[in-house]
């Protein structure tokens, strides 16, 4: 007969960990309910967790937000998590979310708690989310945990939307400028060159440069474009390796604007994620390890991993983070005060809000500079084209003798 390990709360609110034998999960759940125990976790040590089906591959992290919002609304009204998932399975219209609820309900009906059911779908629920849900189940604060998770994901989504909006206008300006220049080079200039050549005479230097550039693009433009495309593809493939990712991340960090933006974004993500984990009862050691794994920039991830190791060895968080070279002294002082007063999570929240404002200001500055620079370049190039054409016309006109 299978032996199940369980974690539960007794009527007095004490946590109980033990094992029992039962024919199946549902029988084990009934036995524990008969003992007036509220099950937190029930596992079969000999059974492996089945992974999610292929339908959940490439599941966007933001696609889980509607599910969490609906789950929070139902559990907030007093409905147990299992019944809420079952109801969502019947009510939701979006196929992938409905399939997700069906998969969760299958595991919940077998006796798994919500956090363990979510663990079956790693493509949908990352380890941070699973651990936070487990902490909420253990402390009876699932509704508050869901609310904080929703707020966290909404803040991340808003930051991505700000980044997309900030880059959209410069990208549009660049596309328009390139289109105008190519139109001049490939369509207008060859026709004007034919006209000017038929009139005879020596073309000015600016016109000869422009004509030479036009001939080069017409003759070798496709080759240059193919070379750039091949180089980009090879670079992308190399970046997918660990060595390539580390090297390219290091190059990006050394760029004037990109380096500062990467550091601010990393600090914002680190502070926000660590605050959410600490606020929901995850231990400091676990929270630091999970937060460090969310950092995608390899050199900074390594720096934060070293900082985490020093914290686990007994060094204060503010001193360990100071060794990364990313945090200003004033920020480290605020974190040190938060540690000394036992208000580290609120201090991290304030730090995340501060850097969110810094990122917004930097994006606005970047948008202004890039847009202005592209417009200035486009206007200058068009002015150069106009000067080359007009000077050629005047020079050829002056060569005629009346």
Mean pLDDT of 49-53: 48
Per the CB < 8 A criterion, the answer to whether 100 and 56 are in contact is: yes
Same domain, 242 and 167: yes
Same domain, 68 and 183: no
Same domain, 391 and 264: yes
User: Quick check: is 36 in a domain?
Assistant: yes
pLDDT tier at 209 (50, 70, 90 boundaries)? confident
pLDDT tier at 233 (50, 70, 90 boundaries)? very high
Q: Is the pLDDT of residue 4 over 80?
A: no
Mean pLDDT of 190-207: 71
Same domain, 27 and 69: no
When computed from its CA atoms, the radius of gyration of the chain, rounded to whole angstroms, is 31
pLDDT tier at 374 (50, 70, 90 boundaries)? confident
User: Quick check: is 147 in a domain?
Assistant: no
Cα 144 from Cα 125, distance rounded (Å): 18
Lowest model confidence (mean pLDDT) among 33-47, 49-63, 109-123, 376-390: 49-63
User: Quick check: is 136 in a domain?
Assistant: no
Lowest model confidence (mean pLDDT) among 7-11, 75-79, 311-315, 320-324: 7-11
Q: Please state, for a pLDDT cut of 90, what percent of the chain lies above it.
A: 3
Q: Looking at the 3D structure of the chain, how many domains does it have? A: 3
Same domain, 323 and 397: yes
Same domain, 72 and 17: no
Same domain, 99 and 8: no
Q: Is the pLDDT of residue 47 over 50?
A: no
Per the CB < 8 A criterion, the answer to whether 73 and 106 are in contact is: no
pLDDT tier at 49 (50, 70, 90 boundaries)? very low
pLDDT tier at 234 (50, 70, 90 boundaries)? very high
Q: What is the pLDDT of residue 230?
A: 94
Q: What is the pLDDT of residue 76?
A: 84
Mean pLDDT of 354-368: 84
User: Quick check: is 137 in a domain?
Assistant: no
Q: Is the pLDDT of residue 53 over 80?
A: no
Q: Is the pLDDT of residue 339 over 90?
A: no
Same domain, 168 and 109: no
SS3 of 362-395: HHHHHHHHHHHHHHHHHHHHHHHHHHHHHHHHHH
Lowest model confidence (mean pLDDT) among 40-44, 313-317, 348-352: 40-44
Same domain, 66 and 36: no
Average pLDDT, the chain: 80
Q: What is the pLDDT of residue 252?
A: 86
Q: What is the pLDDT of residue 229?
A: 92
Q: What is the pLDDT of residue 135?
A: 73
User: Quick check: is 142 in a domain?
Assistant: no
Q: Report which of residues 86 and 123 the model is more confident about.
A: 86
Query: 132-159, pLDDT tens digit by residue?
Result: 787 777 767 788 888 888 887 887 788 7
Q: What is the pLDDT of residue 352?
A: 86
Cα 197 from Cα 368, distance rounded (Å): 42
Q: What is the pLDDT of residue 130?
A: 82
User: Quick check: is 49 in a domain?
Assistant: no
Same domain, 216 and 267: yes
Per the CB < 8 A criterion, the answer to whether 114 and 82 are in contact is: yes
Dihedral sign (CA 37, 40, 44, 47): positive
CATH of the domain at 269: 1.20.81.30
Q: Report which of residues 372 and 280 the model is more confident about.
A: 372
User: Quick check: is 381 in a domain?
Assistant: yes
Q: What is the pLDDT of residue 196?
A: 67
Same domain, 176 and 107: no
Strands laid side by side in the 15-21 sheet = 15-21, 3-9, 38-43
Query: 253-308, pLDDT tens digit by residue?
Result: 888 888 888 888 888 888 888 888 888 777 788 888 878 877 888 888 888 888 88
User: Quick check: is 296 in a domain?
Assistant: yes
Maximal C-alpha separation, the chain: 116
What range defines the domain where residue 102 resides? Answer: 54-125
Cα 12 from Cα 17, distance rounded (Å): 14
Same domain, 162 and 284: yes
Per the CB < 8 A criterion, the answer to whether 30 and 97 are in contact is: no
Cα 244 from Cα 251, distance rounded (Å): 11
Query: 81-92, pLDDT tens digit by residue?
Result: 888 888 888 888
């Amino acid at each position: 007969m299978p032996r199940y390990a369980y974690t539960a709360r007794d009527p007095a609110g004490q946590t109980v960990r033990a094992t029992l034998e039962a024919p199946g999960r549902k029988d084990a759940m009934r036995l524990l309910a008969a003992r007036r125990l509220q099950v937190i976790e029930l596992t079969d040590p000999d059974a492996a967790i089945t992974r999610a089906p292929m339908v959940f591959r490439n599941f966007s992290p933001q696609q889980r937000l509607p599910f969490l919002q609906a789950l929070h609304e139902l559990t907030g009204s007093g409905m147990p998590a299992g019944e809420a998932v079952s109801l969502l399975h019947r009510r939701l219209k979006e196929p992938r979310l409905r399939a997700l609820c069906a998969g969760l309900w299958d595991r919940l009906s077998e006796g798994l708690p919500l956090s363990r059911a979510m663990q079956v779908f790693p493509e949908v629920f990352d380890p941070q989310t699973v651990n936070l849900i487990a902490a909420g189940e253990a402390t009876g604060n699932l509704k508050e945990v869901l609310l904080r998770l929703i707020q966290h994901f909404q803040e991340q989504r808003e930051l991505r939307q700000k980044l997309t909006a900030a880059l959209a206008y410069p990208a549009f300006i660049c596309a328009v400028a390139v289109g105008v220049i190519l139109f001049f080079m490939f369509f207008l200039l060859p026709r004007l060159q034919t006209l000017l050549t038929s009139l005879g005479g020596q073309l000015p230097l600016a016109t000869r440069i422009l004509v030479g550039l036009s001939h080069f693009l017409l003759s070798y433009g496709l080759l240059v474009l193919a070379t750039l495309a091949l180089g980009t593809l090879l670079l992308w493939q190399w970046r997918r390796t660990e060595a390539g990712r580390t090297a390219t991340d290091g190059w990006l960090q050394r760029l004037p604007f990109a380096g500062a933006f990467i550091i601010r974004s990393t600090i914002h993500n680190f502070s926000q994620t660590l605050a959410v984990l600490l606020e929901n009862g995850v231990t400091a050691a676990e929270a630091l390890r999970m937060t460090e794994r969310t950092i995608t920039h390899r050199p900074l991830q390594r720096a934060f991993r070293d900082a985490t190791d020093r914290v686990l060895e007994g060094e204060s968080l503010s001193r360990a983070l100071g060794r990364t070279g990313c945090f200003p002294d004033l920020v480290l002082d605020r974190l040190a005060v938060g540690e000394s007063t036992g208000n580290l999570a609120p201090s991290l929240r304030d730090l995340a809000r501060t850097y969110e404002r810094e990122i917004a200001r930097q994006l606005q500055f970047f948008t202004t500079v890039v847009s202005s620079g592209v417009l200035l370049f486009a206007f200058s190039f068009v002015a150069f084209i106009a000067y080359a054409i007009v000077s050629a016309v005047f020079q050829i006109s002056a060569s005629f003798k009346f």
